[in-house]
Amino acid sequence: MTNPPNLPVKPGKVIAVHVAFESRAAQRGRRPKQPSYFLKATSSLAASGSDVVLPEGCELMAFEGEIALIVGKPAHRVSLEQAWEHVAYVTASNDLGIYDYRAQDKGSNTRSKSRDGYTPLGPELIDAQAVDPTQLRIRTWVNGELAQEGGTSDEDLIFPLAQFVADLSQHMTLEEGDIILTGTPAGSTVIHPGDVVEIEVDAPSLGLSSGKLRSTVVTGPGGFDPEIGMLPHQDDKQREEAYGSREAAGLSADENAISPSLRAKLLAAPTAGLSAQLRNRGLNQVVIEGVHPQTPGTKMVGVAKTLRFLPGREDLFKKFGGGFNAQKQAFDSVKPGEVLVIEARQESGSGTLGDVLALRAKHLGAAGVVTDGGIRDYAAVQEIGLPVFGQVAHPAVLGRKHVPWEMDVAIGCGNATVIPGDVIVGDDDGVIVIPRELAEEVADAALKKEYEDEWVAARVAEGHPVDGLFPPVGTWKEEFEAWLVEHPQPAVEPQ
């Protein structure tokens, strides 16, 4: 730990608040009813002017300018009215984190926020007893541009600063030197090597200031060992959280949309490889059984939009089957990049779509259609060019076997559960369902394995037996790893 200057006592613990500012809650779209916390290691403390290291292999470091409270005397079960008396100083802090480990930490933030140097503090301390805790201000600059500004009035904060002291003291003794980081206002976003972050806490009416806490982002070694722990991982959800919005992260405003980079990876990865990676993660029932592409060689990638049919019943079809029914509504509202997945209970005794609806979906930019039922106007649908995966051709109309019932709900298609927003991938081997939060991780792993399999196939083509080679172990593994140094896996570029 690099001790920030002027700390009177080495802190025993650093406690951080998840969300405390109204502006941050509005930005995230969720407002806590009560404060919640996480711990940061004291070894993460650093002084003003220190470098902060973004490890190789990580891309999502974000700053969070925060007001730090430094406990002056022990607090145990103190009241809200007494709590501020136990605060000796306030100063500026930066609650840095790498979102590449945020999902793996599952709320603890242990690896994402407790890295060495990830809690710069200072440079000067403000006497807490000389200021009104509702009249402080926090500002953050990135490369000289103002990025954050917030106050501590009742309008700015969800919880008053003193409440954190009182609340925590109900559960543990806050000791002299302990530090409480009190949340960040809106404006936190991703920073990159070379960026300079400056944070200041002040009491404008009194002319008191912490001075500017200055940190510079640099690149450092990664080298995370997968045999010891989890590797860093990035996906669209973490990019959105790190940047503060989908737009700032360069993602589509539609939260269900797949980023161009992820789409390119999924197009390059075979469903067989993706299925194997899902199985490695404990997911076995992810194949939509009994469906195949109308046109061999079709590759389909998209986000699930769902449509559910009930078993045919004449009175219900009379009421729900005509007019602008659920089937027509689903085809008429599909968005670009979505795959319309239809639950027909693997009943192929009538059609579940025809040429007109396929044409409408194609016009709206749908990525495809999957049905575990039949397809009418089979040849005409095929000519439209929309990726369609189904069972068989069937000339009968919908009402012979099905009632169009509802859309955008969880369904069962081909004995696989499909939730709206799931990632759907199809090729000649069939169609699989990938939970959204696993899509990028699974795609990366499948492509890595595919690259290895290509090398193995080349060795087999040379006449080598598969024992010990598929997959490579022992000397074959050493040979592959040596080859990989000279021939690194190429990146998949968006089309």
Binding site members for substrate: 354-357, 376
Looking at residue 248, the DSSP 8-state letter turns out to be T
Give ∠ CA 11-91-240 in degrees, rounded to 5: 95
**CA–CA gap between residue 342 and residue 322 (Å, rounded):** 18
For residues 433 and 286, the answer to whether their CB atoms sit within 8 Å is yes
In sequence order, the 6+-apart residues with CB closer than 8 A to the CB of 341 are 288, 304, 305, 306, 307, 369, 370, 371, 411, 413, 418, 424
Going 340 to 341 to 345 to 351, the CA torsion angle's sign is: positive
455 Cβ neighbours under 8 A, 6+ residues apart: 472, 480, 483
> E strands along 99-142, which residues?
119-121, 126-127, 137-142
Residue 75 main-chain phi, psi, to 5 deg: -125, 120
Under a CB-based contact definition with an 8 Å cutoff, are residues 181 and 202 in contact?
Answer: no
DSSP 334: P
Question: DSSP letters of 387-450?
Answer: -EEES-B--S-GGGTEEEEEESS-EEETTEEE-TT-EEEEETTEEEEE-GGGHHHHHHHHHHHH
CB 324 within 8 A of CB 330: no
Residues in binding site: 354-357, 376-377
Asked whether 266 and 423 are in contact (CB, 8 A), the reply is: yes
The three-class DSSP label of residue 384 is: helix
**Bond preceding residue 5 cis, omega within 30 of 0:** no
**Residues that constitute the known binding site for Mg(2+):** 377
